[in-house]
């Protein structure tokens, strides 16, 4: 089932397909790391065709699905990023067993987004480094400082 879900390349269509396949689900959390990576944590009913009841949908800033990860319990954000970028000393934690995974054509190494010289669409005076890497908007930064959602790839 995870491979079938990974054919849905946009978050909206993936969630529609998920609802058609498993019924109701709960949106548990949303984690953003840098400008261009989002993890949407979804709890699905037990006893579906997926091997666990937690699905993490990684997307780019435009809602393009990059990766699906299925677990039996919700991993910590730090453990998930430690799994993805084990050389990044700012992330730590033990990941619960990964029960199923799929990557889409939108996938690329997310560690690239966390480097000090990572591309940013935020103006330099409007951004700050996020713990673990990647850029986030400074508190109080004016609107219109990013073009994410207007055709950017990541």
Structural domain boundaries enclosing 28: 2-112
Domain-embedded: residue 154:
no
131 found inside a domain: no
Dmax of the chain from CA atoms? 49
Say if 124 falls within a structural domain.
no
Counted domains in the chain: 1
Please give the average pLDDT of every successive group of 10 residues along the chain, which has 154 residues.
94 96 95 94 93 97 96 98 96 97 95 91 91 90 57 46
Residue 142 lies in a domain: no
Whole-number pLDDT of residue 151: 43
pLDDT at site 21: 93
Contact at 8 Å (CB) between 115 and 133?
A: yes
Residues present in the chain in total: 154
- Residue 134 placed within a domain: no
Interatomic CA distance for residues 66 and 134, integer angstroms: 17
Share of the chain above pLDDT 90, in %: 78
Q: What is the pLDDT of residue 143?
A: 61
Residue-wise pLDDT tens digits, 112-152: 999 999 989 988 999 999 999 999 988 876 665 555 654 44
For residue 129, being part of any structural domain is answered with no
């Amino acid at each position: 089932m995870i491979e079938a879900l990974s054919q849905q390349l946009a978050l909206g269509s993936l969630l529609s397909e998920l609802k058609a396949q498993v019924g109701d689900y709960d949106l548990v959390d949303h984690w953003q790391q840098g400008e261009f990576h989002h993890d949407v944590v979804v709890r699905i009913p037990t006893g579906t065709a997926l091997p666990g009841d937690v699905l993490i949908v990684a997307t780019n800033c435009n809602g393009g699905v990059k990766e699906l990860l299925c677990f039996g319990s919700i991993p910590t954000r730090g453990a998930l990023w430690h799994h993805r970028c084990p050389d990044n000393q700012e992330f730590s934690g033990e990941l619960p067993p990964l029960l199923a995974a799929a990557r889409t054509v939108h996938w690329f190494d997310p560690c690239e987004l966390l480097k000090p010289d990572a591309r940013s669409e935020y103006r330099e005076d409007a951004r700050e480094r996020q713990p673990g890497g990647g850029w986030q908007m400074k508190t109080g930064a004016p609107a219109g400082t990013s073009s994410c959602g207007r055709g950017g790839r990541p």
